[in-house]
Structure 1
Amino acid sequence: MSLADLVSFLESTPASFSLAELMRGASRGGVRAAITRGEITRVLPDRYAASLHAESWAVRSHAAAMWGPDGCALTGAGALFDAGLLPLPPAVVDLRVPRWRHRPSAPWLRITSTTYVPPVVLTRPDGATLVDSALALVHAYGRAPERERAELVYRLTRSNLVDPEAVRLHLDSLPRARGRASLLRRCALAQDGVESYLEERGAEEILVGRGFESIVRQHRLRVRGELFRLDAYDAQTRTAVEFDGSEFHAEPAQRVRDIRRDATLATIGILTLRFGYGDVEQRPDWCRDMVRDTLEARRLST
C-alpha cells in the first residue's frame, strides 16, 4: 500500500488508528510526512485519523475508547447519542474508566473515574465500548446544566427508551453520582406518569394537597373513536388538566389540535383546564386554586 493509498483509506474510514496500524501501509517517515502536510492528524496519544474526520464524533469517541485503559467505556450524552436516543452528538466525549492515573488528554475529552463495574457493556461496530443507556443517563444528567436536566430525563422515559427503574438500580450501586437526589426524584415521577418539566411542576406544586386525591396522571380516554392522553384527570367530575409547554403546544397546528381535542372531550362532558408555562412557573398557587375550585364546583353540580 502506498502512502497515497493509506491516506485514501483513512479518508474513507472515520475511525482512529495506532501508529503501528498506520505503519502496516506506510513507513514511519511517510506517516510523519502526511501529518506535516495536514493529511493525517494525531487525535490522542497513539491515535491517528484522516484530518478530514479528525474532529468528528465518530473519530474522537473511537479514539478515546481505544486510548483509555482496559475496562473503559463511553458514557454520558455521547453514549445516548450512539444508542440513537439523542439527536445530536455532544461536543465533549465522556469516558468512564475503572481507574485513572492522571495524564494529559484533549480538551474535548472528559474522564469519569469510578470503582463501579456496570453489569452491561456494549460494543459499537467499530470496536468502541459504551455503557448501557440507563447508566449513560446517570452520567449525562450529572453533567447537564440544571435547566436541561428535567427534559433529558423525561424525553427518554416518556418514550420508554430508558427504564427509570434501571436508572435507580445504577444509582443504588454507584458510590458517587452528581445530582443523585433530583434524578431519583424525577425517576419516581416518571414512573408515576410525569412526562415533562411542566407536568413535574404540576405534580409537585399544583396538584398536591387536599382535594386532589382522585386525580390520575397520563390517563387515556377513547372518545368518538379517537384515543386521547390527558396530563391529569378527575373521573368523578370529568375534569382534565393540561400543562402546555412550548415544545408541544406553541405551533399553530398544535394549538388547533388542542382546541379540537377539547371540543371532542366536551361532547361527553369533560372540561379541560389548560395552564401555560408562565402561570405554572410564576403562579403555581393560582393554578392550584383554579383546579381545586373547579373540582369543588363540579362536584357540587353533580
Structure 2
Amino acid sequence: MDARIQALLVGGEGLVTRREMLRAAPAWTIQTARRAGRLIRLLPGVYGDATLIRDADVDLPTLARVERDVARRAALAYADGRGALSRLTALDVWGLRRQPPGESVYLDLPRGSGLRDRPHLVVAQRSGFAIAPPQVVTRGGLPVTRLDRTLVDCWPLLPPVDRSSLLIRAVNDRLTTPQRLAAALAEVPRMPDREALSGLLDRLGAGCRSPLEIWGHDHVFTGAGLPTFTRQARLRMGARTMYLDMFAEAERVNIELDGATSHGDPAEREIDLRRDALLASVGILVVRFTHRRLTAEPAQVRQETLAILANRSPRLMIK
C-alpha cells in the first residue's frame, strides 16, 4: 500500500475518507490498494484498512463486518460533520441498551443533507436539526442525540416488553425527567404507539417509578375516597434522606409496594424494618403490599387502604 495512504489510515485509526486520500496521493493509488485487498470501501467516500474486517460472512454488508465502534466512526465520516448517532445506536452510547450484532447503525442529519440509507446504516433527516447542544451532545468522543429525544425516537423500534423499563430506568437513574421526555414527545407529533408512550409519561410525571407502581396507580390507588398521594416524597431525618413510595400527608401513612423479588435477602428485610421503625418514631405508619397481593387481590387491597386511611384521619386522631 502507498505509504501516504498507510499514514492516513494510522492517523484515522483504520479509517480514511476518499477526499483525504486524494489530497495526499493520486487516485490510482487508491485503486491499487483496493485491488490488492489492502483497502475496503465501507460507505461512499469512506474506506478502511482491510484488517478491520472481523466477520468472514461475505453475504453481510461490509459495514456489518467490522467492529461496532468502527462502523459508527465510518457512519460519522460518511456524514462529514453533519450527523449524530441516534435512536438504537445512541441508546447504546448512552449505556441503556447494548446493540446486538447485526443491528444497523442509526444516524440523524439535517433535512436536505442529501445522504440516504445504506446497507447496515439507517439515516433519518430532521427539520431544524443542528449538530450542537442541546440537540446533540458528545459522549465517548462521539456526537449523539440527547437522551430524552433518543428514548422517544426508540419507542416504536423497541420490543414492547422493553419499552417501559428503559424509560423508567432512565428516570430512576436521573439521566432525564418525565418533563423533558414529554417535551421531546411534543417534537414528534406522529409516531406509532404514541398514546401508550404519553400514558407512561403521565404515570412517571405523577411519581410512579416502577411497573408495579404504575399498575397500582391504574388499578388500585386512584379514585373515589382515596387521597392524592405524594409519590416519591422526600423526607429528611437528621443526616438521612428517604423517599416514600406513596405518602398520604394528612393521615401520615406511607404505602410501600414490594416487587415480586423483594425481601429475598434477610439483610434487605432487616433494612426495611429499621426504616419502618424510624418512620414510626415521627408518627408515619408504613403499610406494605406485596406484588402478589396487589395484582391478585386489588379490590381487597383497595378496601384495606381506605380503612387504614379512615382510621388515621386527622379528625379521628384529634378525638
CA distance in 2, matches of 1:88, 1:246: 26
Per the alignment, residue 162 of structure 1 pairs with: 176
Aligned length: 295
Q: Which 5+ residue runs of structure 1 have no aligned equivalent?
A: none
CA distance in 2, matches of 1:48, 1:123: 26
Q: What is the identity, as a one-letter code, of the residue corresponding to 1:153?
A: L
What SS is found at the alignment partner of 1:17?
Answer: strand
Q: Percent identity among equivalent residues?
A: 25
What SS is found at the alignment partner of 2:118?
Answer: coil
Give the direction of change, closer, same or farther, for the CA distance of 1:198–1:41 in structure 2 (3 Å limit).
Answer: farther
Q: Could you say which structure has the larger radius of gyration?
A: 2
What SS is found at the alignment partner of 2:154?
Answer: helix
Return the TM-score normalized by structure 2: 0.73
Deviation at 1:22, TM superposition (A): 4.9
Bigger mean CA deviation after superposition, 192-201 or 277-286: 277-286
Check the 8 A contact 1:142/1:177 in 2, yes or no.
yes
Give the direction of change, closer, same or farther, for the CA distance of 1:61–1:4 in structure 2 (3 Å limit).
Answer: closer
Check the 8 A contact 1:61/1:93 in 2, yes or no.
yes
Check the 8 A contact 1:220/1:228 in 2, yes or no.
yes
Give the direction of change, closer, same or farther, for the CA distance of 1:94–1:274 in structure 2 (3 Å limit).
Answer: farther
Q: Which 5+ residue runs of structure 2 have no aligned equivalent?
A: 54-64
Partner deviation per Cα, 1:247-286 (whole Å, 9 max, x = no partner) = 8866555444223222322333433223344444444334
Per the alignment, residue 46 of structure 2 pairs with: 47
Check the 8 A contact 1:76/1:94 in 2, yes or no.
yes
Check the 8 A contact 2:258/2:288 in 1, yes or no.
yes
Deviation at 1:239, TM superposition (A): 1.8
1:58 is aligned, of 69, 84, 99, to: 69
Partner deviation per Cα, 1:17-70 (whole Å, 9 max, x = no partner) = 323435647932453256x36xx5543333333444863332222222333598
Matched, 1:86 2:96: yes
Q: What is the identity, as a one-letter code, of the residue corresponding to 1:74?
A: L
Per the alignment, residue 13 of structure 1 pairs with: 13
Q: What is the identity, as a one-letter code, of the residue corresponding to 1:141?
A: W
| RMSD between aligned residues | 3.8
CA distance in 1, matches of 2:242, 2:140: 43
Per the alignment, residue 160 of structure 2 pairs with: 146
Give the direction of change, closer, same or farther, for the CA distance of 1:244–1:78 in structure 2 (3 Å limit).
Answer: farther
Per the alignment, residue 58 of structure 2 pairs with: none
Return the TM-score normalized by structure 1: 0.77
Per the alignment, residue 2 of structure 1 pairs with: 3
Per the alignment, residue 202 of structure 2 pairs with: 188
Bigger mean CA deviation after superposition, 222-231 or 203-212: 222-231
Give the direction of change, closer, same or farther, for the CA distance of 1:222–1:128 in structure 2 (3 Å limit).
Answer: closer
CA distance in 2, matches of 1:58, 1:204: 42
Matched, 1:273 2:290: no
Bigger mean CA deviation after superposition, 22-31 or 165-174: 22-31
Q: What is the identity, as a one-letter code, of the residue corresponding to 1:110?
A: V
Check the 8 A contact 2:115/2:123 in 1, yes or no.
no
CA distance in 2, matches of 1:251, 1:6: 58
What SS is found at the alignment partner of 1:213?
Answer: coil
Per the alignment, residue 32 of structure 1 pairs with: 34
Partner deviation per Cα, 1:88-142 (whole Å, 9 max, x = no partner) = 45644222343698966224x3344554646844264898643222211211222
CA distance in 2, matches of 1:281, 1:116: 46
Check the 8 A contact 2:208/2:231 in 1, yes or no.
yes
Bigger mean CA deviation after superposition, 239-248 or 56-65: 239-248
Relative contact order, higher structure (CA 8 A, sep 6+): 1
Q: What is the identity, as a one-letter code, of the residue corresponding to 1:188?
A: D
Per the alignment, residue 207 of structure 1 pairs with: 221
Check the 8 A contact 1:73/1:121 in 2, yes or no.
no
Instruction: Summarize the alignment of residues 219-298 of structure 1 with structure 2, pairs less than 5 Å apart.
Output: 219-223=233-237, 225-245=239-259, 253-298=267-312
1:106 is aligned, of 119, 124, 136, to: 119
Q: What is the identity, as a one-letter code, of the residue corresponding to 2:46?
A: R
CA distance in 1, matches of 2:6, 2:77: 24
What SS is found at the alignment partner of 2:289?
Answer: strand
Per the alignment, residue 134 of structure 1 pairs with: 148
CA distance in 2, matches of 1:246, 1:41: 52
